[in-house]
Copies of this chain bind each other. A is one copy, B any other.
Amino acid sequence: MKPIKVGILGLGTVGGGTVNVLKRNAAEIERRIGRELIITRASAKDLTKSRICNTDGIELTSNPNDIINDPDIDIVLELIGGAGPVKDMVLAAINNGKHVVTANKSLIALHGNEIFTAASAKGVIVAFEAAVAGGIPIIKAIREGLSGNRIQWLAGIINGTGNFILTEMRDKGRDFADVLAEAQALGYAEADPTFDVEGIDAAHKLTILAAIAFGIPLQFDKVYTEGITGITRTDVEYAEQLGYRIKHLGIARQMPNGIELRVHPTLIPERRLIANVNGVMNAVVVKGDAVGPSLYYGAGAGAEPTASAVVADVVDVARALTSDPENRVPHLAFQANQLANIPVVSSNSFRTAYYLRLMAEDKPGVLADVTRILADHDISIEAIIQKEPSSGDTAVPIILLTQITLEQEMNAAIAEIEALTTVTGKINRIRMETLG
């Protein structure tokens, strides 16, 4: 059979890693698919730049259109990343009848609905395993491996930078800003770390996971997103003392009134496997009605882990070249005309337990006031711990763990507690999940 021809847009970290893996494992891949797979062309903005990959035998161009319009190319790999002109490139490739493999989470999260509609109309595949959790085959696990299940919820550590920062804060008692600076120096965090530390990157990925888990359209704008910038090392320590770890999770959960889509720091019991996922590693827990909880763990970023997912997609597409377009795995796991219009609930309707940390005057009656306010809002308390004041400080830290409650009630209670004259400053509030 004739070789399958691949063209690559972008030769940065992911593109370079993909070239390396496809070349190094070429024989192994051919043993799998029964056909040769060759990279015929690749594009890069600056052809003079030094690269992590050897491009021998690959025709290089600075013009992506040379690849998109090449009639000999079967599969286009979009490994440029980011939003912007990439969307038009992908749509043009689709329009030319090419299958596309992309590692671009923001592209899929923001424009996936439009891209998949175009792809379906042309009978081509847009594969995006590498867009979520790097080398972990989580898209395949949810979309195919758990297809017998009604997914009830999923929760993932899907931003390696954030997890690295939280892990360092816990392991070494360091401050957020200090670890962030190191992560930037190590190349884990971008010069502009907003996407990582404010949760936007995780929200892109959660958007994708939720769509394939529940069969709903991609709805990035409906994800509640909170970053890790408000987490102090004090919170990390207190959580530890109480038997919890703080992880930055993306959570999607089917509730009776709709779907919760939320990205935020979360206290998790330390005995949970996902609580022990450290450093830049990623992991996703998926709870299905038949399988129960299952977990998928691996490298969430990096040249070769991401390439691993890109190449797996290329192999899948290679196998699907002769399949019936009507009978493939649908882009969003469910048939395009079967996506459900389930409401995404607002944060006011979230139901979670909470960790609350407040500073209060060390005198009688303060705890009584706080607990009365919580009781007035139907919030049950799981534990209260009053810490020793720091030397020279008149205020004492009080830590409260609550049972599951409605976020709207919690917001109201927090406002009332903060208004107490005996309470100083803002309450630090972190959601808790048992993930049981």
Q: List residues of A whose CB falls within 8 A of some B CB.
A: 17, 21-22, 24-25, 28-29, 31-34, 129, 135-137, 140-141, 144-150, 215, 271, 273, 276-277, 283, 288-299, 304-305, 307-312, 314-316, 319-324, 326-330, 333-335, 338, 340
Contacts and interface: CB of A to CB of B under 8 A. Distances in A.
Given A148-B25, A322-B323, A135 B308 contact: no
Given A31-B334, A147-B311, 13 more contacts: A21-B148, A21-B149, A22-B148, A28-B150, A28-B215, A32-B147, A34-B326, A137-B140, A137-B144, A145-B309, A290-B307, A319-B328, A322-B324
B292 A305 contact: yes
A141 B142 CA distance: 11
Contact of A277 (B145, B273, B315): B273
B296 A291 contact: no
Contacts of A289: 24-25, 304
Nearest to A293: B298
Given A146-B308, A329-B319, A298 B295 contact: yes
19 contacts: A21-B148, A21-B149, A25-B289, A28-B215, A29-B147, A32-B335, A136-B291, A136-B294, A137-B140, A137-B145, A141-B296, A147-B311, A271-B276, A273-B276, A273-B297, A291-B305, A294-B296, A294-B298, A295-B296
B327 A31 contact: no
B149 A308 contact: yes
B32 A290 contact: no
Given A312-B148, A324-B323, A335 B34 contact: yes
A305 B17 CA distance: 36
B144 A140 contact: yes
Given A144-B137, A146-B308, A296 B299 contact: no
